[in-house]
Amino acid sequence: MQSLIWLAIALPLASAAVLLCLGRRADAWGHWMGVAASGGAFLVGLGALIEMLGKPAEERALDTTLYTFIPGGDLHVDVGLLADPLSITFVLLITFVGTLIHVYSVAYMEHDKDRRRFFAYLNLFVAAMLLLVLADSYLLLFVGWEGVGVASYLLIGFWNYKPEYATAANKAFVVNRIGDIGLIIAMGIMFTTFGALDFATIGELAGNASTATLTAAGLALLLAACGKSAQFPLQSWLGDAMAGPTPVSALIHAATMVTAGVYLIVRSAPIFEGAPNAQVVVAIVGAITLTLGALIGMAKDDIKKALAASTMSQIGYMMLAAGLGPVGYAFAIFHLITHGFFKAGMFLGAGSVMHAMNDQVDMRRFGALKGAMVVTWVTFGLGWLAILGVPPFSGYWSKDKIIESAFVGEGWQPWVFGLTALIGAGLTAFYMSRLFFMTFHGKARWTDEVHPHESPALMTVPMIILAVGSAFLGLILATGDRFTTWLEPVTGHVEHHEPVLPVAVIVALTLILVALGAVGAWFKYGRAEVPQEAPSASLATITARNDFFQDSVNRAVFQRPGQHVTRTLVYADAAIVDGAVNKQARGWSSLGSASRKLQTGQVRSYAATMLVGLVIVIAVIVVGGL
Amino acid sequence: MVNEVLFWVVAIITVTGSLSLLFARKGAHIAMSIVTVMCGLAAAYVGLGAPFLGVVQIVVYTGAVMMLFLFVLMLVGVDQRESLKETIKGQRWIALVGAGGIALLLISVIGRVELTSSDQFTDGNPEEIAIELFSQYVLVMEVLGALLITAAVGALVLTHTPRLTPRRTQVELQAARILAGADPVNKPMPGVYARHNALDVPALDPEGNPIDHSVSRVLEARHQTQEGAEFRHQLADPDNPDHDAKPADAPPRDAHDRNPRQGEGESR
Amino acid sequence: MNPMNYVILAAILFSIGAAAVLLRRNAIVAFMGVELMLNAANLALVAFSRIHGELDGQIMAFFVMVVAAAEVVVGLAIIIAVFRARQTISLDEPAELKG
CB contact under 8 A, B105 and A619: yes
Q: Which residues of B touch A599 (CB under 8 A)?
A: none
Residues from chain B that touch A608, judged by Cβ atoms under 8 A, are 91, 94-95, 98
Could you give the number of structural domains in chain A?
Answer: 2
Domain presence at residue A335: yes
Domain that holds residue A439: 299-538
Taking CA atoms, A530 is separated from A294, A297, A444, A526, A540, in Å, by 20, 17, 10, 8, 19
Q: Which of C91, C98, C99 sits opposite A604 (nearest CB)?
A: C91
Instruction: Report DSSP state, residue B117.
Output: P
Both A466 and A332 in a single domain? yes
Say if A431 falls within a structural domain. yes
pLDDT at B34: 94
Chain C residues in contact with A602 (beta carbon < 8 A): 91-92, 95, 97
Interval A538-579: pLDDT, tens: 777 777 777 777 778 877 888 888 889 999 999 988 888 888
* Closest Cβ opposite residue A612 in set B94, B108, B109: B94
User: In chain C, whose CA is at the least distance from the CA of A609?
Assistant: C22
Contact B155 C77 (CB under 8 A): yes
CB contact under 8 A, C98 and A603: no
Is A456 a residue whose pLDDT tops 70?
Answer: yes
- Please tell me the predicted confidence (pLDDT) of residue B262: 42
Cβ atoms of A530 and A445 within 8 Å: the answer is: yes
Gap from B92 CA to chain A (nearest CA, Å): 10
Question: For A189-217, what is each residue's pLDDT tens digit?
Answer: 988 888 888 888 888 888 888 888 889 98
A355 and A436 together in one domain: yes
For residues A305 and A345, state if they share a domain: yes
DSSP letter string over B157-205?
Answer: HHH-----SPPPPHHHHHHHHHHTT--SSPPPPP--TTT---SSS-EE-
pLDDT single digits (tens) B13-59: 999 999 999 888 888 899 999 999 999 999 999 988 888 999 999 99
User: Are A501 and A603 within one domain?
Assistant: no
How far is the C-alpha of A276 from the C-alpha of A218, rounded, in Å?
Answer: 10
pLDDT tens sequence for chain C (99 residues): 678 889 999 999 999 999 999 888 888 899 999 999 999 999 999 999 888 888 888 999 999 999 999 999 999 998 888 888 878 788 776 566 565
Model ipTM value: 0.90
Question: CB of C34 within 8 Å of any CB in chain B?
Answer: no
Residues A484 and A576 grouped into a single domain: no
The arrangement of secondary structure in C25-90, i.e. its CATH architecture, is Orthogonal Bundle (1.10)
Residues A364 and A470 in one domain: yes
Looking at the structure, do residues A319 and A421 belong to the same domain, yes or no? yes
Domain assignment present for residue A320? The answer is yes
- Domain boundary, last residue among A538, A568, A584: A538
Chain A interface, best mutation among B94, B106, B108, B113, by max A CB count within 10 A = B94
Among A612, A621, A623, most B C-beta atoms within 10 A, so best to mutate, is A612
Q: Which residues pair with A67 in a beta bridge?
A: A79
Q: Label residue A170 exposed, middle or buried (CB < 10 Å: 0-12, 13-18, 19+).
A: middle
Residues in chain C, total: 99
Span A330-354, pLDDT tens digits: 888 888 888 888 888 888 888 888 8
Residue among C19, C33, C49 minimizing CB distance to B96: C19
Residue-wise pLDDT for A110-123, tens only, equals 888 888 888 899 89
Q: Are residues A508 and A606 in the same domain?
A: no
| Helical spans, DSSP H, in A447-602 | 457-478, 482-491, 503-521, 539-545, 550-554, 560-572, 578-596
Cβ of C54 within 8 Å of Cβ of B122? The answer is yes
The answer to whether C32 and B21 have CB atoms below 8 angstroms apart is yes
| A457 and A373 co-located in one domain | yes
Q: Which span out of B71-85, B226-240, C44-58 was modeled with the highest average pLDDT?
A: C44-58
One domain for residues A393 and A442: yes
Instruction: Answer whether B190's CB lies under 8 Å from B198's CB.
Output: yes
Q: Residue A588: what pLDDT?
A: 93
B132 contacts in chain C (CB < 8 Å): 55-56, 59
- Do the domain assignments include residue A310? yes
> Average pLDDT for residues A571-592, to the nearest whole number?
91
Q: B149-198 pLDDT, tens per residue?
A: 999 999 999 888 888 888 888 998 888 888 888 777 777 777 766 566 67
Mean pLDDT (chain B) is: 79
Residues A471 and A602 placed together within one structural domain of the fold = no
Q: Do A601 and C96 touch (CB under 8 A)?
A: yes
- Model confidence band, residue B244 (pLDDT cutoffs 50, 70, 90): very low
Question: Chain C residue closest to B110 (CA)?
Answer: C8
Record: contact B50-C46, CB cut-off 8 A: yes
Contact C21 A607 (CB under 8 A): yes
| CA dihedral for B104, B106, B109, B112, sign (positive or negative) | negative
Q: For A11-22, how does the pLDDT look when each residue is reduced to its tens digit (9 = 90+)?
A: 989 998 888 888
Portion 73-92 of C in contact with B at CB < 8 A? 73-74, 76-81, 83-84, 89, 92
Which residues lie below 8 Å from residue B235, measured CB to CB, with a gap of 6+? Answer: B192, B194, B204, B208
Q: Rounded to an integer, what distance in angstroms lies between the CA atom of residue A461 and that of residue A174? A: 36
Q: Is residue A199 part of a domain?
A: no
Measured between beta carbons, which residues in chain C are less than 8 angstroms from residue A618? none
Domain end (from A513, A538, A563) = A538
Does the residue A240 lie in any domain? no
pLDDT band at B245 (very low <50, low <70, confident <90, very high): very low
Confidence of residue B79 (pLDDT cuts 50, 70, 90): low
Give me the residues paired with residue A362 across strands: A302
Same domain, A340 and A402: yes
A614·B94 Cβ contact <8 A: no
Interfacial residues of A (vs B; Cβ cutoff 8 Å): 600, 602, 604-605, 608, 611-612, 614-615, 618-619, 622
CA distance A275 to B153: 86
Chain B positions in Cβ-Cβ contact with residue A602 (cut-off 8 Å) = 88
